[in-house]
Structure 1
Amino acid sequence: MKVLALETANEQCSVCIADENQELYFQLDARAKAQTQTILPLIEQGLAEVNIQLSGLTAVAFSRGPGSFSGVRINAAVTQALAWANDLPVIPVSTLQALAQAAYRTAGLTEVTAVLDARMQEVYIASFKLDEQGIMQPADEEQLLSYSEAEQAVKFTLIGSGSDLVKPEQLQYKAVSATAQDIAAIARAHAQQRSWVAAEYALPVYLRDNAWKKIPEQGKP
């Protein structure tokens, strides 16, 4: 099993290739908003280093949002194109879940409330708890809330770029940021259970009602 994981939803770009046991390749380009220039070269570099063709992958995983509108669109579009062209399934991963996974990976946190700045005086927010397999699992639903509403929704340790917007004194884990490593960790667990979807469902999730229609609204089964 080999999974290609892509992360561009946080205005940076990273690519990871992992098998069922370990990370085989990881590269991050931290330049803001350079995803369109870097995503494909990083994928090509990773495939070359691991010595595998796209068609030899088990699945393509991607950060499906919520997050930067342009970054989420790039991630979904590249994933869909690669999956369609190579007849591969896709594994959509919540950006907030990936952020929670990053908090566990980098700081050892096992219960977190992940918060991302959504602009317009709002934040994306959801809480997560570590399971027995070392994966951060949802403890509630993803929401788009005002700062005051989000303050009432906090359950655990605050992490992410929206932390200080919700509670100004909570700055310790504001800099926690997800990468393709975290997408890969979550996707590995899904791939082992063959929990994936067809390429046509590699769709962005924005949480704003007017930003993207949900699958049922598109008339898809």
Structure 2
Amino acid sequence: MKLLALETANQQCSVCMVDDTQDVFFDLDSRARAQTQTILPMIEQALLQANIPASELTAIAFSRGPGSFSGVRINAAVAQALAWANDLPVVPVSTLQALAQAAYRLAGLTAVTAVIDARMNEVYIASFKLDEHGIMQAVDQEQLLSYDQAKTVQSFTLVGSGSVLVDATATEHQGIDATAQDIASIARQAALQQQWVSAELALPVYLRDDAWKKIPEQGKA
């Protein structure tokens, strides 16, 4: 198996390729809003390093949101284009699940409430627990909530950029960010069970109906 994973749903951009057991390629560009400049060269480099054409990939995985509107849209568009052009299946991965997976990878946490700053005094939130395959699985639904509402649904250790918006003391894990490595870990397990979709069903998830609003219209949290 060769699976290509893409992550542009937040501020950074990263690409990871994995086989059945290990990472084959990983690259990260942490510059804010540089996704459109870096995602395609990163993909090309991953294919070159693995020495395979895109058509020989098993599947493409991408972070499908919720998250930055532009970042999610870029991720979905690139994943769909690659999948259509090469007749490949796609594994959409929740950005919140990827954040939870990052918390396990980086901090060894096995039960977390993942929280992403959604601006407009709201957060994206969901809780996850580690399964027997080492994958963080959802124990409730993804939601877009106000800060006060989010406080009532917090189940486990808070992680992610929205942590301190829900609890001002929850500073320890607010800096954890998901990368394509976390997308790849989740998607690898799904791909082994052929849990994927066709390109036309690889759709972004925003959770907010007015996600199209520009940043100045949204306001700062």
Asked if TM exceeds 0.5, the reply is yes
Match of 1:119 in 2: 119
Query: How far apart are the structure 2 equivalents of 1:52 and 1:178?
Result: 26
Distance (whole Å) between structure 2 residues aligned to residue 30 and residue 60 of structure 1: 22
Q: Which residue of 1 aligns with 2:183?
A: 183
Aligned to 2:109: 109
The answer for the alignment partner of 2:24 in structure 1 is 24
- Structure 2 counterparts to residues 60-209 of structure 1, below 5 A: 60-209=60-209
Partner of 1:59: 59
Identity %: 72
Residue aligned with 2:126, SS: strand
Q: Cα distance, 1:159 vs. partner? A: 0.1
Q: Which amino acid aligns with 2:201?
A: Y
1:34 aligned residue: 34
Counterpart in 2 of 1:219?
A: none
Which residue does 1:49 correspond to in 2?
Answer: 49
SS across alignment from 2:76: helix
Q: Distance in 1 between matches of 2:140 and 2:3?
A: 27
Distance 2:3 2:86 in 1: 13
4+ residue runs over 4 A deviation: none
> For residue 218 of structure 2, what is the aligned residue in structure 1?
none
Give 1:145 shift: 0.1
Q: Aligned pair count? A: 212
Give CA deviations for 1:109-144 in whole Å, capped at 9, x if unaligned: 000000000000000000000000000000100000
Matches of 1:36 and 1:210, distance apart in 2:
23
| In 2: Cα distance, 1:161 partner to 1:196 partner | 29
Distance in structure 1 (CA, Å) of the matches to 2:82 and 2:4: 10
Partners of 1:88 and 1:211 in 2: CA distance:
29
Residue 151 of structure 1: how far off its partner (Å):
0.6
Q: Distance in 1 between matches of 2:103 and 2:94?
A: 14
Residues in 2 aligned to 1:142 and 1:161: alpha-carbon distance in whole angstroms: 16
Query: Which amino acid in structure 1 is aligned with residue 198 of structure 2?
Result: A
Residue 20 of structure 1, CA deviation: 1.0
Q: Following TM superposition, by how much is the alpha carbon of 1:210 offset from its aligned partner in structure 2, in angstroms?
A: 4.1
How far apart are 1:11 and its partner, in Å?
A: 1.4
**C-alpha distance in 2 between matches for 1:52 and 1:179:** 23
CA distance in 1, matches of 2:210, 2:169: 32
| Residue in structure 1 matched with residue 14 of structure 2 by the alignment | 14
Matched, 1:3 2:3: yes
Aligned partner of residue 71 in structure 2, secondary structure: helix
RMSD after superposition: 0.8
